[in-house]
Every structure is written in structure tokens, then in C-alpha cells.
Structure 1
């Protein structure tokens, strides 16, 4: 998704979490708590690094020429906070060169859009645990990413222009099976469609739902959205079926709509959340 698109839903409607102290607190609350101890995996050569990145939906690697800099201990300290992220470290010159690292860097790699995001030497000079946690938390996009004020920044910065939102109450009895099928469908559109979960049981998500002219009585539902031109379509459902997801996404990608283009209707005023 291009950050310059001022008409984008996630910019005008959803992005109000400008890495403020409140967002930092949300990152901290979402990652704090008891967890099994884990350490970064040492990556001693290029094949090991490539295999490590390929095997993870999200991987964060510390590329360090100097293990004595403060960023190394800060990097180690945040590893415990992200159980769904794979952490690695390397000091091998060939590994650093392979990933275009000069000096020291911390890089995040994500499978969903094959993107590498870097904090380079100049960024690491004033890094602390909160800033590093924000960097990881906001860019922690998976095959299915739950929408919240933290992940919305990464969603906005994704290069994928088509977003599919599943709006469902996580407290519902059908949620677990629905998510399993939704994740299976996401694999079919990797790199083409960004799959997002919106918990309709969260009150502050109500404006996301109303933007697509949906009511609570119509949920669960899909909403598919093109970030560059604000075109979208919706599909109320009774259950998530992989084939239905495939058909809905394929149809939208081919320019088919279930209803009239919402651009032809009076637009819903966009307000900040």
C-alpha cells in the first residue's frame, strides 16, 4: 500500500495511532506477561539465514558487527515479548552482505508480502525497548493479521493493495473453525490479498464495520477493499468456506462486484477513530 494515498481507508478512517504513548502502552500490554524463555537463533551462514526467514511468517534478525553496542542487549530483552515472531542474530560478514547490511542493523522480514524492513545503524543509536517493540509490533503482519491500533500502521504500510476483512465476534462458537479456514484461504492469495481479522465484539471496531455499510445483524461478513481507489464490496456469510473466499477474492480481482460500485453512492463521511 502506498503511504501517499490520502484517500486510503486506513489513513483517513483508521490511522489515529501515530505511535503515541497510548500505542506504546498497548504494545507493552499485549506483549507483557509470563512466557517461555527464548533466545535468538544464531545464524552462522547465508543458507541458515535464508532457511530461517523462509520458515517464519515474521522473522526479526539482529545483524551486528559489534556485539558490545547497547542495541544488542535491548534486542535480546524484547525477544520474550513476541511469541509469534522468530528471532535470529548473525555476526557473519557474508550474511550481513547478503542482506545489504553495513554496520549494524535490526531487520524484520515478513512472509505475507516478502518485505524487509530495516532499522539501520543511525536508527539504533537511540533505540530502546519501547521503540524496538513498536517497530516489531506495528510491522508484525501475518497471513491473517488482527486489526488493532498497533497493527494498523503495518497494514497501512503494506505494499499489498487489496485487503480482505473478516468481521466476526471472537467470542462466537464458530470463531475457531472460521479462523482455521480463513488462514487456509489466505495461503491461496499470499502476496495478492492481505487478510485481516476484525473482532466485531470490540466496541471501537464499530466504525470499521459501519464504513462498509454493514450492521451487526449482517455479521459475520467479508469486506474486500482496494486501497488505491477506495472501491470495496461486502459479503455477509453464515460460515467461512475456503471456496467462497476464493471466489469472492477472484471476482474482486477481476473487477466483478456483487453490487453497484459504492463510489456511485453518496460516500460515508470519513471520520477519525
Structure 2
């Protein structure tokens, strides 16, 4: 992955929801208007950096000892291109030390699995806009991440080895509310299961659907997959509910496979009375 070195950061900062909302509002209001050039948010000290990172599902932070190096304007140019990502920048020595940065680094922080992924000095020296954008694209995982050729790399490089897929057509009238409920359920399994959305309306996603032996007529459906041993299960659903998603995930974590139960019932011959 372009010589990137990944470092797991096992820090969970318990901040109040009120303060986290204030930080999010500061980010939202940092631009002067719709057409204004966007800039990374300046992080002057450790508390500001902690609050900013905690408030975002995905945050990319430029930790620079020297703000004059060529990587800095390249980093700044990413803000406009990746508008669903929060960007911050700092050259404060205490901030760098707090995040174990000894030189210059561009680091990506993910709420979903509490990861800190660092592009360090040797990579920073030769970084260009294409490489940096690729690094951000493949590693931006959210509470619900949409499946595509870029994110699949980040999904399988995550330390979380169980993935739940909602296979549903994004063009369906129920999509908006279904995604809202799916995201609510994702918070219940944060750090345990990665929640993924597969748009069944896209022809190229047909291979994912067929891998789980599902037909279009059975969608929407949930599929859960464990990357270590390829164990998997499926659940066709009429609608997405938090309770159904939770029960399906809990059952899989407990070793119960609905698929095996269904297959066993299908093989059992019916006895006529």
C-alpha cells in the first residue's frame, strides 16, 4: 500500500456530546461561503486535536514540523477533493508527540475501528496528489462504508475481521430510512463488525451478491462474513430494522448460522399425512 506503515492507536477519549457537537459546528462554519476555498482546521494544542479527531468518523491530519515542505500544499489541496473527510493540521510539538509523530506525517484516523494510519517521513518526501488521494480513498472507512473497488482494500486491511453487508438498491424508495436504521445498528457493534453497503442496482456488484448465493429476488438482504475462516451467513429481509440487524449479528457472533438451518430444512423430506 504505497509503503504506508500502519500503527494501531488504542486510545478512546470520552468527551461530552455537547463539546463534540461544538467541534463539528466549528468545522462546518470554517468556510466563508459556498464558493470559498476550504482549508484544514488549525489544531493548536492536544485538547483541540483530540476533540477534532473524536468528532469525525474519518479525520486526516497533517502533522508537520516544517510547514514549508512540498507536502503541505499537496495536503491542503485534498480538502476540496475529499469533502466527506475532516482535515486538520498542526505543527505543535506536544500534539506531534501525543500522536507518536517524530518527523512529518499525514495520518488518517478512523472512528469505526479506532485506527491511526500514518504516512511517515520517507513517504512524505515523495508524495504527490494522486498518491495521497489514493491513500485517503482506500482507507476512509465509516460507520457504514459503501463497497467499491477502492474501499474494499481498506475493509480487508482493517483489524476488524467480521463484515456485515446490506445489499440493497440505492434507487429504492425505502433506501433513505433503511440506511438510517442500518447506521443506528452499526453503532451497537462499533469495533466488532464493519458495516458495509452494497448497491445492488450496480451491475458490477452482482459478483458480491452471487458469492453469497443470493438472487436479486431475495433482496434486500443482509450477509455477514468472517475474513479469517470465510464463514458466512445471509438473511433476506423485507425491511431493515435495528432489531433484526442486531439479532442477526448477535446470532453470528454466538456461532448460529441461519443459512445452515434453512439448508437443513430444505433437505428434510416432507412427510404426507
TM-score (norm 1): 0.82
Aligned to 1:55: 55
Give the number of the structure with larger relative contact order, counting CA–CA contacts within 8 Å between residues 6 or more apart: 1
Tell whether the 8 Å contact from 1:35 to 1:80 is kept in structure 2 after alignment.
no
Aligned to 1:213: 213
Displaced runs of 4+ in structure 1, greater than 6 A?
A: none
Query: 1:236-251, aligned counterparts within 5 Å?
Result: 236-251=236-251
Aligned to 1:69: 69
Aligned to 1:268: none
Give the Cα–Cα distance (whole angstroms) in 1 for the partners of residues 108 and 261 of structure 2.
Answer: 37
Give the Cα–Cα distance (whole angstroms) in 1 for the partners of residues 207 and 180 of structure 2.
Answer: 26
Deviations 1:207-241 (A, max 9, x none): 00000000000000000001100000000001000
Structure 1: state its 5+ residue gaps.
1-33, 265-273
Aligned to 1:155: 155
Give the Cα–Cα distance (whole angstroms) in 2 for the partners of residues 180 and 200 of structure 1.
Answer: 18
Q: Does 1:256 align with 2:267?
A: no
Aligned to 1:40: 40
Tell whether the 8 Å contact from 1:165 to 1:223 is kept in structure 2 after alignment.
yes
Tell whether the 8 Å contact from 1:62 to 1:106 is kept in structure 2 after alignment.
yes
Shift of the alpha carbon at 1:86?
Answer: 0.5
Aligned to 2:172: 172
Give the Cα–Cα distance (whole angstroms) in 2 for the partners of residues 202 and 227 of structure 1.
Answer: 24
Aligned to 2:231: 231
Give the Cα–Cα distance (whole angstroms) in 2 for the partners of residues 75 and 110 of structure 1.
Answer: 18
Shift of the alpha carbon at 1:38?
Answer: 2.0
Shift of the alpha carbon at 1:81?
Answer: 0.8
Tell whether the 8 Å contact from 1:232 to 1:261 is kept in structure 2 after alignment.
no
* SS of residue in 2 equivalent to 1:167: strand
* SS of residue in 2 equivalent to 1:260: helix
Shift of the alpha carbon at 1:260?
Answer: 1.7
Which structure has the larger Rg over C-alpha atoms?
Answer: 2
The alignment covers a number of residue pairs equal to 230
Q: CA RMSD in A?
A: 1.6
Give the Cα–Cα distance (whole angstroms) in 2 for the partners of residues 209 and 261 of structure 1.
Answer: 20
Structure 2: state its 5+ residue gaps.
1-33, 265-273
Give the Cα–Cα distance (whole angstroms) in 1 for the partners of residues 184 and 220 of structure 2.
Answer: 18
Q: Does 1:86 align with 2:82?
A: no
Shift of the alpha carbon at 1:183?
Answer: 0.5
Give the Cα–Cα distance (whole angstroms) in 2 for the partners of residues 38 and 215 of structure 1.
Answer: 44
Shift of the alpha carbon at 1:83?
Answer: 1.2
Shift of the alpha carbon at 1:37?
Answer: 3.5
Give the Cα–Cα distance (whole angstroms) in 2 for the partners of residues 121 and 211 of structure 1.
Answer: 41
Shift of the alpha carbon at 1:193?
Answer: 0.5
Shift of the alpha carbon at 1:261?
Answer: 8.4
* SS of residue in 1 equivalent to 2:60: strand
Give the Cα–Cα distance (whole angstroms) in 2 for the partners of residues 231 and 261 of structure 1.
Answer: 15
Give the Cα–Cα distance (whole angstroms) in 2 for the partners of residues 133 and 166 of structure 1.
Answer: 27
TM-score (norm 2): 0.82
